[in-house]
Amino acid sequence: MALRTQISERQRRFGAELRRLREAAGLAVKDAGALIGIAGPQLSHIEAARTALDSERLATLLDGYGCTDETYAALLRALGASDGKGWWTEFKGKVPPLALDLAEAEDRSVRLHSYDSLYIPGVLQLPDYAKAIYEGGHARSPWEPQTQVRFRSGRQRILADDKPRQFKFVIHEAALRMRFAGDTVMRSQLLHLIEVAELPNVSIQVLPFTAPRHAPLSASFLFCDPGCLELSTVILSGPKRSEYLGDPVDVDAYVQKFQQLSELSLPPVDCNGALRKLDTRDSWGLIHHLLYELQT
């Protein structure tokens, strides 16, 4: 079988998990390969995501590695068996590869936690807001802005699809005050946040400028949990590339960081109880205050 020339983050993670399991079991590549009747170099290619592994051999490896977690094993099998196709496939070659990897990671997840400091989270952005980001960039891009806006809008389907998902968003107040898209667009965007917050599986909190004991965290990150913490991923976003963290120690550090940010933030947007909480400061109230400022 020919080796892959292009490797997705899903394929990288599958290979990395196999390597982690083998090392935890204390087996050399040669000995692990012998368990499934292949040579050590071929298993190295599998662990490096340069080639695939069939489900029967995967099951044998998991037994040989002493893996007894059925949830983990089932999700790992799904990771290896996936063809990587979804709604995002039509955008291949039309948007950056990192965008395709992001959409696939989001689609696999049942729990997503997002922290953003300068922009509204991508999955919550209205088309005009996203357009302002892409068209306002200083660096030249080979990717057509309208296609990227359409792709970003496509990501929003996970908010209300038939998969049981839970979303938590922590957005810094700075992102809500940015007016690069214009007052009219920003007003629509803030109203959209309130509308999305009405969904039963969505929590939106604002981290205010006045948050105590908090040095600003400029780097945005997204925690994606497919239903098993061992296979969860933290995605650090950047203008040219994204970094995918899968090491349990790194993931746990960001899980704890998100919890801290959530605790420092104002209570979540609660449209139903907003009028009963006029004597307290919460995310709903801050967003409405900013909406008022956009009218003056």
pLDDT digits (tens, 9 = 90+) for 74-127: 999 999 999 999 999 999 999 999 999 999 999 999 999 999 999 999 999 999
256 and 117 in one domain? yes
Residue 224 corresponds to which tokens in the numbers above? Answer: 């994606």
For residue 3, is it within any domain?
no
For residue 221, is it within any domain?
yes
0.85 exceeded by pTM? yes
For residue 1, is it within any domain?
no
CATH of the domain at 22: 1.10.260.40
178 and 94 in one domain? yes
**Does the structure show a pLDDT above 60 at 72?**
yes
pLDDT digits (tens, 9 = 90+) for 1-57: 678 889 999 999 999 999 999 999 999 999 999 999 999 999 999 999 999 999 999
CATH of the domain at 276: 3.30.870
107 and 34 in one domain? no
For residue 237, what pLDDT band results from cuts at 50, 70 and 90? confident
Report how many domains make up the chain.
2
For residue 135, what pLDDT band results from cuts at 50, 70 and 90? confident
Domain interval for residue 280? 87-295
94 and 42 in one domain? no
44 and 134 in one domain? no
Which residues, at least 6 apart from 81, have a Cβ–Cβ distance to it below 8 Å?
A: 55
113 and 235 in one domain? yes
236 and 118 in one domain? yes
203 and 65 in one domain? no
Q: Does residue 236 sit in helix, strand or coil? A: strand
112 and 160 in one domain? yes
164 and 39 in one domain? no
CA distances from residue 143 to 135, 156, 166 in whole angstroms, order as listed: 11, 20, 31
Q: Which of 51, 22, 77 is nearest to 226 (CA)?
A: 77
140 and 240 in one domain? yes
Beta-bridge partners for 205: 170
Mean pLDDT (whole number) for 245-269: 94
For residue 192, is it within any domain?
yes
pLDDT digits (tens, 9 = 90+) for 25-40: 999 999 999 999 999 9
For residue 2, is it within any domain?
no
94 and 185 in one domain? yes
